[in-house]
Structure 1
């Protein structure tokens, strides 16, 4: 199973933007230092979040700010914005089972059914967690 670390970096960036976007110019360089992620990767993440309408980026002077209410930003929306095909990459199925084997010739169909159920459950769970929830956990852990 695999969900790219870009999604966790995006959440990191969103928390940072939420905390400091109104008082500081939040740039890709600043987010790069905070997250320990290459600034080019940060710019790609910010671009995807902007395209989805989650954040706004001021041209020229730079700086990112939140563009919509936290309760409208779900983990699913973030991951989908960053990696639109993340669900199809979640599970790998071996590509060459034997067509002569009773199991081999049906294994893809069998796994597709199970994996589809897992994907639906994951989507439902990710759609139920918002940035409002994440920020509340962050605040609780930081005591702010």
Structure 2
């Protein structure tokens, strides 16, 4: 299924997702509006390195990034294997491969529509929304 987000169209293989197309689209719209930071959808991950990398990516908090090397160290594999698995992620956005960057912070690549431009927009969106959330928190004075 195709899902529009931040001026891009991203292909999501809904066979990996427990839930209707409308539920997926609704949650992506909430994410785009800044009303959702985590998806409430059951995602099936395949066996092997792709599933291992998808599980690791799913643990990266909203508004944060990890490097390919960070994930590779945790999974005892190579950064190249992690990058290849990120590129095969069948459910971008839902499993946030956009949060995986180079060790120097470079964006490197993104398999979804418009490539690195979409990855940049998603990371900037999360940074803006994260800042909005933080500034709305009351402090004890």
- Of Structure 1 and Structure 2, the greater strand share is in 2
TM-score, normalised to structure 2's length?
A: 0.27
Higher alpha-carbon Rg: 1
